Structure 1
Amino acid sequence: MARKADNMPIVSKIFCSSMPVLLVVRIRPPVVNGGGFVVTDCSQKTLFKVDDCGMVGAKGELILRDGNGEALLRIRRKGGMLEAVSIHRKWKAFSFNYDGSEKLIFSLKEPNLVCPTDSNIKISVEPRISNKEWDFEISGSFPNRTCSIIDHKGDNIAQVGVEEQLPPSKDIYNVMTKPGADQAFVFGVIAILDYIYGESTRC
């Protein structure tokens, strides 16, 4: 049984719950409303939206919004020559300050396909919360909808699972966030995983 997570805001404490929360992700068809996905709770209230790169206007760029449409995170993939010579492709997620400037919240390294022993996806937050080279990692398979976000202590803070339905579909799936987990952080990470594996947010 997983230990109770500490209440640890990464984006904001308003996105942390003291209870486990089951959320549903619904993929938006590109031809209807621009792609990306919507996150709802059990009462079908929209909590988060993710705009794909087509809506944002730049390849390798995503925006996480709250249920009211306010931008929470701007997420960018590192580009240019640095990406070409780097073993890892890195993503960076920024929040928006009141003066319009951006603040780095977390960075994520894509899996290393050259070295299979280093294939786990690693995530570092700002400020750092562990003495390791990373603060969180992805365990399991996102394309199969069987993965978890694990913290540096080995605790599972969020579990991605396929929504039970007939016929099976990857267009609707659930995410269970554990007590204390920052849901905005969780779905910022899921937005990047969605893009990496060429799903709803990728153009």
Structure 2
Amino acid sequence: MGGGSTNAVPIVSKIYCSTSLTTLMIRKRPNVVNGGGFVVTDCSHNIVFIVDGCGMLGAKGELMVRDCDGASLLFLRKKGGIIQALSTHNRWNGYSMDYQGTNKLLFSLTDPKPCLATRSAIRIQVEPKSHSKDCDFEVDGSFTDRACVIIDRRGNIAAQVGVEMMGNKDFYHVMVQPGYDQAFVIGVIAVLDNIYGESTAC
């Protein structure tokens, strides 16, 4: 598998697609109610993104990614209803947020339910859907061990999660390859965090 892409792959916005490798530091937000979320900084400790969990938003299965000024960028919602209950996968939808509060579906993430005997990969489909039945991205590895990658459909690594301090999984890093949308990557990380009952989950 290669790493990186020479062309920008904007999903939330092209302003979050850097031309160079970017390392983002993620720290669980301290001293807040359950489901408080986490803060994302650059290597100079400047806040880049803020993720609010259900404890901050007041609703289970809802997450918000904000920019450094606190403006809403990405609203993430776990799909419910009877069809979802009967499905073998949990589905999350990621919506863009604008200044008027309206939103547009940007991507969906499907997570195999724990009851499945063989747990398949977490898959991500970007909207609008391509003609191909293949997913656009997959998560490979163990998020709980902070050892996973987000891979695009060509097998390129878009982002890689790793532990920053030995034994401290509340503080870790995400390396985003050139051209990939950092806000989208953080949105995926927020959903993974919630799926595995970590800082955003109530």
Which segments of 5 or more consecutive residues in structure 1 lack a partner in the other structure?
none
Structure 1 contact 52–200 (Cα < 8 Å) conserved = yes
Give TM-score, length-normalised by structure 2.
Answer: 0.93
The Cα of 1:110 is off from its aligned counterpart by 0.9
Counting matched residue pairs gives 201
Give TM-score, length-normalised by structure 1.
Answer: 0.92
Cα pair distance change 1:35/1:99, threshold 3 Å: closer
The Cα of 1:116 is off from its aligned counterpart by 4.5
Q: Partners in 2 of 1:127 and 1:78 — Cα distance?
A: 18
Q: Does 1:25 align with 2:26?
A: yes
Deviation sequence 1:69-127 (CA, Å, 0-9, x none): 00001110011222211111100010123543210011000124344445100000112
Report the equivalent of 1:162.
163
Q: Does 1:177 align with 2:176?
A: yes
Q: Which amino acid aligns with 2:168?
A: S
Q: Does 1:103 align with 2:104?
A: yes
Report the equivalent of 1:60.
61
The Cα of 1:154 is off from its aligned counterpart by 0.3
Deviation sequence 1:39-82 (CA, Å, 0-9, x none): 00010000001001011111100000011100001110011222
Q: Partners in 2 of 1:128 and 1:179 — Cα distance?
A: 23
Cα pair distance change 1:3/1:142, threshold 3 Å: closer
Q: Partners in 1 of 2:154 and 2:22 — Cα distance?
A: 21
Q: Partners in 2 of 1:82 and 1:33 — Cα distance?
A: 29
Which segments of 5 or more consecutive residues in structure 2 lack a partner in the other structure?
none
Give aligned-pair identity as a percent: 55
Q: Does 1:45 align with 2:46?
A: yes
Richer in strand (by share): 2
Q: Does 1:141 align with 2:147?
A: no
